[in-house]
Amino acid sequence: MEEMDKISQLSMDVAGFSPEELTVRMEGRRVTVTGKHEKESVWEEGGRSREYRELRREAVLPEDVDLQAVTCSLSQDGQLCIEALRLAQPAMEGRAIPISIQQEEAGAGKEPQSSEPGTEPAGESEGRRAP
């Protein structure tokens, strides 16, 4: 699947199949292309030939496409093109992510450690008095 700025595009060669012999179905994000070609010829001498071809291809559309705006076209040279409009993504502004400091729990006989040298852990200075 080729992705451009505003369109996601999937192309496949289906030369030898007429538009009436092709079916394109979509279930959720899965696109299925099937084709069935049958041709029988009778020769003047009484002989016969039969041609039979079958095609089945599947693709999953990207998360950022508008599933209601999927289109399909067939070119004269047998290229089937499935296009889907991409949804506009909101611009992400840069932001700072705070870093939390994990401390061990204060156990028996252990004093909590401060994250900065020369400072006391939160809540420790209120209950102490100068000697």
pLDDT digits (tens, 9 = 90+) for 109-129: 555 554 555 545 555 445 555
Would the pLDDT of 130 be above 60?
A: no
Residues whose CB is less than 8 angstroms from the CB of residue 1 and which lie 6 or more positions away in sequence, other chains included: 8, 9, 10, 59, 61, 62
> Is 105 among the domain residues?
no
Least confident of 3-7, 20-24, 26-30, 44-48: 3-7
> Is 79 among the domain residues?
yes
Q: For position 108, what pLDDT does the model report?
A: 53
Q: Number of structural domains, the chain?
A: 1
Q: For position 96, what pLDDT does the model report?
A: 85
Give the domain CATH number at 62: 2.60.40.790
Strand partners, 72: 82
> Is 66 among the domain residues?
yes
> Is 41 among the domain residues?
yes
* pTM of the entire predicted model: 0.60
